Structure 1
Amino acid sequence: MNTPASLHPVQAAEDLSAYTVIDVRTPGEFAAGHLPGAHNVPLDHLGAALPALKAAAARRTLLMVCASGNRSAAACAQLADADIPATTLTGGTTAWIQQGHRVDRDTTAKATWPMERQVRLAAGSLIVAGLALGTLYPPARWLSAAIGGGLVFSAVTNTCGMAAVLAKLPYNRPRTADLDATLQALGR
């Protein structure tokens, strides 16, 4: 996989209006704080959004954003496979905020924890449950081993299966009407 073009937050902030900003985090993460003017297209909905993103890319450069840059880099790769050029924000919204740039928050939507925090809670809880249950039923310790192995695999491959599963939970899913409105706005 080729490394996508990247843009440092300082560069992006100089003329944010030159970009169509696409935030690929879950709707709850997006509501908690996103770049001004960003559109929310969760990573697992990117395939359905390709026609609208192609239209948007014809007008302005797409700037893909997530919390750290990992999901936005994956989005850039997926877009590159569809011959849609895109750039990723180096360090994501975390770096954007650390640089002192403004974020918009959706006060009407219920904000959820960032995906990384959800993964840490789920993984930690499953490991503790496996160890606790292992005192009564020793084979239950394999649950802890499996989760630990999954975390190692996640680090080595820079992917996260647990995040993919957690993204499917109802509070991490976009409302159909919201996603449709976003895609219509991008397609114009």
Structure 2
Amino acid sequence: MTAPATIDCDNLECLLNSPTPPRVLDVRTPGEFETAHIAGAYNVPLDLLREHRDEIVRHLDQDVVLVCRSGQRAAQAEETLRNAGLTNVHILAGGITAWEAKGFAVTRGAERWDLERQVRLVAGGLVFASVLGSIAVPKLKWVAAAIGGGLTFAALSNTCAMGMMLSKLPYNRGVTCDAQTIVAQLVDATSATEEPDGRS
């Protein structure tokens, strides 16, 4: 299997200012997207992308750049899109973290914790509580062991079940976080870039 194609922040900035900019898909949760995103990006959360990939792929007829916090979810999204037959896909190296570190502009909204930080809070809180609780109920130590095992598996498999569960909480979802709205936005954008004679 070939390594996913990446693009750095400087190159993406140049492409976004070119006559034929790529389609930027941000695969973070709507809450993370609202906090800060690249102007003009479309929010297509990873779980929705996986569930509706074929419908979404039909409306991606230009180069696509995938963005997440640091690159992990974008790599999973890239694999999903390539498996659906899309070949013009790239990953923003370092994600939105690298983009902001380079000083490039972002559109900001209400501040929300990113998903990785939420996972650290929940996992750490569960381990801490179960270790303390095991003083009174010794079997609670196995909860801490299960969390540790889950985190180890998440690292080895490059997946995160806890993160996927947390992404479905109302805190992380937006009012327009559904497949129909996302597809409608992609269709509208495609129509807007077409010339009157039908050429894009």
Query: Does residue 1:26 correspond to 2:29, yes or no?
Result: yes
- Preserved CA contact (<8 Å) 2:23 2:64: yes
Q: Does 1:123 align with 2:139?
A: no
Distance 1:147 1:16, change over 3 A: same
Which residue does 1:44 correspond to in 2? Answer: 47
More moved, 178-187 vs 34-43: 178-187
Which residue of 68, 77, 93 corresponds with 1:66?
68
Deviates more, 1:123-132 or 1:165-174: 165-174
Instruction: Name 2:99's counterpart in structure 1.
Output: 96
Partner of 1:55: 59
Relative to the length of structure 2, the TM-score reads 0.85
Cα displacement (A) at 1:55: 1.9
2:96 aligned counterpart, secondary structure: helix
Cα offset, 1:176, TM superposition: 4.1
2:108 to 83, 100, 105: 105
Kindly report the root-mean-square deviation, in angstroms, between the aligned alpha carbons of the 2 structures: 1.7
Match of 2:137 in 1: 137
- Cα deviation, residue 25, structure 1: 0.3
Q: Which residue of 2 aligns with 1:82?
A: 84
CA distance in 2, matches of 1:29, 1:177: 12
Amino acid in structure 2 at the alignment position of 1:73: A
Q: Which ranges in structure 2 are unaligned for 5 or more consecutive residues?
A: 191-200
Q: Greater share of helix residues, 1 or 2?
A: 1
User: Per-residue CA shift, 1:83-135, capped at 9, x if unaligned?
Assistant: 012111111000111111111123xxx44210010000000000011111101
Q: Which has the larger radius of gyration?
A: 2
- Residue in structure 1 matched with residue 181 of structure 2 by the alignment: 181
1:149-171 residue CA offsets vs partner (Å, 9 max, x unmatched):
11122222222111011112122
Tell me how far 1:179 sits from its aligned partner. Answer: 5.2
1:172 corresponding residue in structure 2: 172
